[in-house]
Amino acid sequence: MNAATATKAYAKVGVESSVVSADPHKLISMLYQGALLAVANAKNGIARKDNPAKGVAISKAITIIDEGLSASLDKKVGGPLAQNLSALYEYMCTRLAAANLKNDMAALNEVARLLTDLKEAWESIRPNAAQATSQQRSASNVQLAYGRR
């Protein structure tokens, strides 16, 4: 086994271990982080004029957003917030597809900004025993959009 293969195997085990041990809130954070990394890899692909790498990275970002973040939404319980997030995720996937076709760095930057804003908002509502009751209720309402408590 060469060093690159060993490194990939180690990284895969690390990610799988993190996923298995993560609580539902952390899993959503990990999805945001994965999507942001994929968008950054797409930008690098465009900068290097490496179309295959760009395409793989954009496909990964779309998959994370569509099959991870959007699929995690509970639209019945989450109400309008979940519906709005779903529409935003759909918009991001559309922008990513356009970025893939046109090597549109501005579209990738826009999606990265949206993902960063959502990730920061999500992490700011992390359940914490030291939070005030009103903050917990607010966080609870947002978490319901993902069917979480």
User: pLDDT tens for residues 78-111?
Assistant: 999 999 999 999 999 999 999 999 999 999 999 9
Q: How confident is the model at residue 21 (pLDDT cuts 50, 70, 90)?
A: low
Q: Count of domains in the chain?
A: 1
Is 34 a domain residue? yes
pLDDT on residue 23: 83
| Residue 106 near residue 94 (C-beta atoms within 8 A) | no
Which pTM was predicted? 0.76
Is 7 a domain residue? no
Name the residue among 149, 50, 65, 45 with its Cα closest to residue 111: 65
Domain CATH number, residue 105: 1.20.120.340
140 or 66, greater pLDDT: 66
Structure tokens at 95: 């922008």
Domain that holds residue 27: 23-123+130-144
